[in-house]
Amino acid sequence: VSTNVAVLGAGNWGVTLAHLAAVNGANVRLYTRDREQAHEIETTHTSERAVAGLVLAPGVRATVDLRDAMDGAELVVFVVPSQSFRGLARAAGEHLLPEQLVLHATKGLELGSHARMSTILQEETCARQIGVLAGPNIAAEIASGKVAGTTVASAFPHVFEVGRRVLASRRLAVLPGTDVLGVELCSAFKNVVAVAAGMASQMGIGENAKALLVTRGMSDIARLALALGAQRATFHGLAGIGDLLVTCASEKSRNHRLGVAIARGEPLRDALEALGMVAEGAYASLAARDLARARKVDVPVLDRVHRVLYEGLAPERALEELMSLEPAPSR
């Protein structure tokens, strides 16, 4: 019997996940607000803007009707930017039934509240069995058939089992986890370090210095996430070090590109606009700053990124401070 799956959000990762599930035999309804995109998918089984060149498996059907997308789905997967998440969750909450399993694949925290996405799901829907999917997953690579690994973390083993059944293949390893909070925090904060790595790349400081910077950034993430309740093993896993590795290595990552633009001297607003898409790191750095302050955790790299993005600190000065022997000034 085929599994019915709803994928809510049709960016590159949502479209890719919908395709993978359909390849595995699921009936997938892919929700998008964009009528043109829905029409393109329904008529040509492609979505060139989301994933150029990918021909979607026949099991993917697009819809602009949220209720239609979710109706009868055993698994509902949320894949939208963090700042659109609550709106979608609230709308989906009108239809979601408590027996439906929910996964999300959003790497960020809500602005202002610093809420995790699983918290938003709990607040806005009756979903109980919630999980998060995260890892070193460049969507374009996976869509093109390259192998990868990802994590599905949930307090409910059933969520992992269904997630694996729907997504795992000889090309995608789906590994289990239970630390939802840890995965969500590591996934969000790593984007801030990716911005720092992008700045470093643009400034041509070399591989040694970039490694020092990323190592210190990793320590920041570990300290802050642990202080907020994450498990250490999560930091060591695919959603922690793994995702950070790929985000910092890939010059294509939007957060990396944001760092490059900022180091070139572009104002944040212009840089974000030019990217034409969401750079989660710019939001996550606000959350990281506030959370680190509240918990009195020293996060020199995350802090410098925040100050460069929002307080006019020169990228050169930030890097000098991070490279120096001196401990970070207390705040």
Closest separation in Å from C-beta 246 to its own copies? 4
**Contacts to its own copies from residues 294-323, by CB under 8 A:** 323
Closest separation in Å from C-beta 121 to its own copies? 26
Element (H or E) spanning 7, and its range?
Answer: strand 4-8
Among 69, 246, 261, 272, which residue interacts with its own copies (rule: CB under 8 A)? 246
Lookup: tokens for 195: 């911005």
Task: Name the nearest CA neighbour of 107 among 200, 221, 205.
Answer: 221
Please list the alpha-helical segments (H only) found in the chain: 12-23, 35-44, 66-70, 82-93, 117-124, 139-143, 157-167, 180-203, 207-227, 232-236, 243-249, 254-263, 268-275, 280-295, 300-311, 315-323
Lookup: tokens for 112: 């202002």
Among 207, 311, 329, 331, which residue interacts with its own copies (rule: CB under 8 A)? 207
Does residue number 168 form part of the binding site for its own copies (CB under 8 A)? yes
Question: What is the rounded distance in angstroms from the CA atom of residue 326 to the CA atom of residue 286?
Answer: 24
Does residue number 175 form part of the binding site for its own copies (CB under 8 A)? yes
The one segment of 155-163, 217-225, 289-297, 304-312 that binds its own copies by CB under 8 A: 217-225
Question: What is the rounded distance in angstroms from the CA atom of residue 286 to the CA atom of residue 307?
Answer: 10
Closest separation in Å from C-beta 190 to its own copies? 11
Does residue number 242 form part of the binding site for its own copies (CB under 8 A)? yes
Q: Which is nearer to its own copies, 179 or 243 (CB)?
A: 243
Does residue number 3 form part of the binding site for its own copies (CB under 8 A)? no
The one segment of 92-100, 101-109, 230-238, 297-305 that binds its own copies by CB under 8 A: 230-238
Q: Which is nearer to its own copies, 44 or 169 (CB)?
A: 169
